[in-house]
Structure 1
Amino acid sequence: MKSSAFRLGPWLLLAALLLAWELACRGLALSPLVLPPPTAIARALAKGIASGFFWPHLAATSLELLLGVFAGSLLGLAAGIVLGEHATLRRLLMPYVVASQVVPKLALAPLFVLWFGFGMTSTVVITALICFFPLMENTLTALQQVAPERLELFRMLGATRSQTLWRLKLPQGLPTILAGFRVAVVLALVGAVVGEFIGASQGLGALVIASQGSMDTALMFAVLVLIAGLGMLAYHATLRLERWLLLPFTRNS
């Protein structure tokens, strides 16, 4: 009984917020240009889905998200392993890695458009760069937090550096690495949408800019709902992947 109440709680809160929003828009006679009521947003959303208008944009953003997450996560994991295993490289390269991350990606977006042109490539590059750092940092942290007594045991057993990495450090650090992956996936959607703001003619970010130009606030909110839905779907997909990858460890514990 309690579990079903917990599951219904967020939906009941959402319904209450939407009802309050609708009543406020009607009671205060707010202009739909400033803040459209939820019913107007729902109509715009239903119209765009039924007509197929949203589907190419949703597909473009989803593909950019997948490609960016794949490339950024692969590079982040590899960089985290290399820097975690080689202290000299870590001392040499970490200041440059951090410096590259503190520069806002929105400021770099015009450069990427100049280098890679308008379209999907520049957006995927921005998304990959945003995914890179969380996974690299968490991988580096995970490799450095292995219990010293376990490292000593592997040394006593004559394990090589490669064996220690693949059989001890990465399995033990997997929860921390996957936590970084969750953060990377959430931020990746931000990168994809921001990239579309600057250099794309298709995608949900480009649609936000188009709806702003046409002063269609209801359409803009409808697109934001789609972005939120896509983000929640991606996040829950990472949770399922995490549970699947950690399942052998939970069985052995």
Structure 2
Amino acid sequence: MKYVRIYSFLLFGFLLVTWEFIAGFMSELVLPAPSVVVFTLWDGLRTGYLLPHIWRTTTEVLLGLAYGGGLGFILGLLMGENEFLRRLFYPYVIASQAVPKLALAPLFVLWFDFGITSKVVITALICFFPLLENTATAIQYIDPKKMELFKVLQATRLQTLIRLKIPTGLPSILAGVRVAVVLAVVGAVVGEFIGASEGLGAMIIASQGMMDTPLMFAILIVLTLMGMILYQTVHLIEKLLLKHYKEDGL
């Protein structure tokens, strides 16, 4: 297992070399070489051309993740604790997720204008469900013996939720956060596809119109790195929190 990272790095290098080789037989319009894409990306960062768009998309992702994830977590707690609320709201939650977000995006632009608000709403809607589903499921399936112990100790419902259910369900809840952070990037870009003058999604549409394929690939690399950084950040927080709870014997 200690050599897995080395193998992964070698595989990455092999894929880059293969891509560079194949691109040499194709038009840059169809498939630009990695060297061309990296040069385009570096030039965009060096000149500051991409920086406002990166900042705009990052802001949309973080705000959407905060609002959608926070609301999903709170409603997940309520629905996990209360069967009446779960039966009442769950069909509507499923219905909201069944509708393609790309179909809703024009409506959000119409309701909230072309500014950042419509993109944040779309991102929040996409991030909402993973947190709600994982949170509601996590706090429902608790070891009956631990529940019985809290009853013997005469813990209140709120104390049981805070001291037992949330810590015990933390791995599942954080798994929902990991899914949400990746989907948040997708949500922000989908919103920018519909109507935006700034942001990486808008840049993809612009590069497509200019037939600038290297720029399009460069933006895709930035989006990929953004998603990976967010994912790894949550993963690091997860390891620290779970280590803390393991040390506490939870």
Match of 2:138 in 1: 142
Q: Are residues 1:10 and 2:38 paired?
A: no
Q: 2:55 & 2:88 partners in 1: Cα distance?
A: 41
In structure 1, give the amino acid aligned to 2:47. Answer: S
String of CA shifts for 1:143-175, please: whole Å, max 9, x gaps: 111011211221222111111111111111111
Q: 1:17 & 1:10 partners in 2: Cα distance?
A: 11
Total equivalences in the alignment: 249
Which of 67, 72, 91 is 1:76 aligned to?
Answer: 72
In structure 1, give the amino acid aligned to 2:120. Answer: V
Q: Are residues 1:95 and 2:91 paired?
A: yes
Q: 1:173 & 1:65 partners in 2: Cα distance?
A: 25
Q: 2:11 & 2:115 partners in 1: Cα distance?
A: 39
TM-align CA RMSD: 1.1
1:1-253 to structure 2, matched below 5 A, reads 3=2, 5-26=3-24, 29-253=25-249
In structure 2, give the amino acid aligned to 1:45. Answer: L
CA deviation after TM superposition for structure 1 residue 191, in Å: 0.4
Q: 2:241 & 2:119 partners in 1: Cα distance?
A: 29
CA deviation after TM superposition for structure 1 residue 16, in Å: 0.9
SS at match of 1:201: coil
CA deviation after TM superposition for structure 1 residue 199, in Å: 2.1
In structure 2, give the amino acid aligned to 1:202. Answer: E
SS at match of 2:197: coil
4+ residue segments displaced more than 4 Å:
none
Q: 1:25 & 1:136 partners in 2: Cα distance?
A: 44
Q: 2:19 & 2:170 partners in 1: Cα distance?
A: 43
String of CA shifts for 1:197-219, please: whole Å, max 9, x gaps: 11211111111000000000011
Q: 1:139 & 1:67 partners in 2: Cα distance?
A: 20
In structure 2, give the amino acid aligned to 1:9. Answer: Y
Contact 1:123–1:199 (8 Å) recurs in 2: no
Contact 1:122–1:199 (8 Å) recurs in 2: no
Q: TM-score, normalised by structure 1?
A: 0.95
String of CA shifts for 1:115-153, please: whole Å, max 9, x gaps: 000021110101111110000000000011101121122
Q: 1:252 & 1:195 partners in 2: Cα distance?
A: 43
Query: Structure 1 residues 205-214 or 147-156, which shifts more?
Result: 147-156
CA deviation after TM superposition for structure 1 residue 8, in Å: 2.4
CA deviation after TM superposition for structure 1 residue 71, in Å: 0.6
In structure 1, give the amino acid aligned to 2:92. Answer: Y
Percentage of matched positions with identical amino acids? 56
String of CA shifts for 1:209-243, please: whole Å, max 9, x gaps: 00000000011001001110111111111011112
Q: TM-score, normalised by structure 2?
A: 0.96
String of CA shifts for 1:47-68, please: whole Å, max 9, x gaps: 1111111111111111111111
Q: 1:39 & 1:73 partners in 2: Cα distance?
A: 38
String of CA shifts for 1:168-190, please: whole Å, max 9, x gaps: 11111111101111111111111
Where in structure 1 are there 5+ consecutive unaligned residues?
none
